[in-house]
Amino acid sequence: QKEVEQNSGPLSVPEGAIASLNCTYSDRGSQSFFWYRQYSGKSPELIMFIYSNGDKEDGRFTAQLNKASQYVSLLIRDSQPSDSATYLCAVRTNDYKLSFGAGTTVTVRA
């Protein structure tokens, strides 16, 4: 079982719609969770982090965490063409390493 799994994608959404990205993790002791955005040919950039159960909103982005279900998600509201990228879920595991999922590629159709 992979430490961090993301829905395989690619995910195609029309402009203005909500993009929903999912991530599950295996280490129940994980404490912190991150979403990185990676444009093609570029390095990952941090867009959200969440430590506590519930929702955390930052502009058009909302991260949701459910530690009991070992599940973290990212919602992108009012999707724009500039949101087209690969989104990486990262989890800080119990041994303090950051483990990344393989990423979900999002394409926003104009």
Of the candidate spans 54-62, 66-74, 76-84, 85-93, the one that interacts with another protein by CB under 8 A turns out to be: 85-93
Task: Give the nearest distance from C-beta 60 to another protein in angstroms.
Answer: 20
Nearest Cα to Cα of residue 37 among 89, 94, 80: 89
Strand partners, 100: 90
Does residue 92 belong to the site contacting another protein (CB under 8 A)?
A: yes
**What does the alpha-carbon distance between residue 14 and residue 57 come to, in Å, rounded to a whole number?**
22
Does residue 101 belong to the site contacting another protein (CB under 8 A)?
A: yes
**Residue type at position 3:** E
Site of interaction with another protein (CB under 8 A): 4, 32, 34, 42-46, 49, 88, 90, 92, 95-103
